[in-house]
Amino acid sequence: EAIEREIEEILGLRERREKDSELYKIANEVFDRTTKETLAYLHRRGKIEELYGVVSTGKEANVFAGVDAEGNKIAVKIYRTYTTEFRRIWEYLAADPRIGYLPKDMRKLVFVWTRREFKNLQRAIKYAVRVPEPVIFRNNVLVMEFIGDETPAPRLKDVEKSLERSDFEELYSYLMSVIERLWKRGDMVHGDLSEYNVLLWDGPVVIDWSQATVRRNRMSVELLKRDLRNVTNYFARKGVDVEDYEVKLRELIER
């Protein structure tokens, strides 16, 4: 069938990759009908020429490494259309004033979730936060700039053993300035900022914007507090002389 052939082409199965590769296994397990059609569409538009590796497999999404038709490296985040996280996704979206209509159908809800992450990336860039450049989204598939070269850039968590106090100090003040800038100038909060969602690639790059939201969201202060607490506690453990996050929180919300 046409779609199946196109998927094999995207996965490079026609030329070299054997059907028992990790890539093939993961793809086989998570690419349902909608996902295949979406990938085929993006393939025809030249946005995804090939997917050649699995970067991460998670509960909600899988991230693949690939190239577009012009040879640019891309990261492709593909949300599962069936997820056990349905409830959490629903709650987060329901609290976001930017989301007008909430679909009842889980698949469509995941599309809304994907679109929101794309919009969040665009919005964060405006406030001078370094993030993977968003390229395009469709349904449950988000295409963005690949951070790294042959392999993805390491997460802060992966390289913490090789960092020195001064590196931690710099990262701490950068991440606190990101939280503050997003909140004050961008009316926005990341909501899951941690050593797992910061890649180090010639400086810090903040990823995973799926739970980010706007200040008008009734959960925003709670999310802001979570970011401040996570960042502060992490860097305190690394020996940085940190500010009290509750004081910082009050400073940010009382103006």
Residues designated as active site? 192, 208
197 or 230: whose CB is closer to Mn ion?
197
56 part of the interface to ligand ATP, by CB under 6 A:
yes
Of the candidates 129, 117, 147, which has an alpha carbon nearest to the alpha carbon of residue 212? Answer: 117
> Using CB under 5 A as the criterion, which residues of the chain lie in contact with Mn ion when the complex forms?
197, 208
Which of ligand ATP, Mn ion, none does residue 146 bind to, with CB < 5 to 8 Å depending on kind?
ligand ATP
Return the biggest CA–CA distance within the chain: 61
Interface with ligand ATP (CB under 6 A), residue from 40, 54, 61, 182 = 61
Interface with ligand ATP (CB under 6 A), residue from 49, 96, 195, 208 = 208
Dist CA 169 CA 167 (whole Å): 5
Burial grade of 33 (CB within 10 A; 0-12, 13-18, 19 or more): exposed
Q: Which residue is listed with tokens 């940010």?
A: 252
What are the φ and ψ backbone dihedral angles of 156, each rounded to 5 degrees? -50, -40
The residue range among 7-15, 139-147, 231-239, 243-251 that interacts with ligand ATP, by the rule CB under 6 A, is 139-147
Q: What is the closest distance, in whole angstroms, from the C-beta atom of residue 188 to Mn ion in the complex? A: 18
152 part of the interface to ligand ATP, by CB under 6 A:
yes
Dist CA 129 CA 15 (whole Å): 40
Count of residues binding ligand ATP (CB under 6 A)? 20
197 or 217: whose CB is closer to Mn ion?
197
Of the candidates 213, 222, 212, 217, which has an alpha carbon nearest to the alpha carbon of residue 252? Answer: 222
Q: Residue 94 in contact with residue 109, Cβ under 8 Å?
A: no
60 part of the interface to ligand ATP, by CB under 6 A:
yes
Q: What is the DSSP letter of 82?
A: S
Dist CA 148 CA 75 (whole Å): 10
186 part of the interface to ligand ATP, by CB under 6 A:
no
Judged by DSSP in three states, 211 sits in coil
Dist CA 93 CA 109 (whole Å): 9
89 part of the interface to ligand ATP, by CB under 6 A:
no
Binding pattern to ligand ATP, positions 106-135, x when CB under 6 A?
A: --------------------------x---
10 or 113: whose CB is closer to Mn ion?
113
155 part of the interface to ligand ATP, by CB under 6 A:
yes
56 or 233: whose CB is closer to ligand ATP?
56
Dist CA 9 CA 39 (whole Å): 11
Q: What is the closest distance, in whole angstroms, from the C-beta atom of residue 125 to ligand ATP in the complex? A: 13
Which of Mn ion, ligand ATP, none does residue 171 bind to, with CB < 5 to 8 Å depending on kind?
none
Of the candidates 198, 201, 204, 108, which has an alpha carbon nearest to the alpha carbon of residue 151? Answer: 201
Q: What is the DSSP letter of 243?
A: P
Residues lying near ligand ATP in the complex (CB under 6 A): 55-56, 58, 60-61, 63, 75, 77, 132, 144-148, 152, 155, 196-197, 207-208
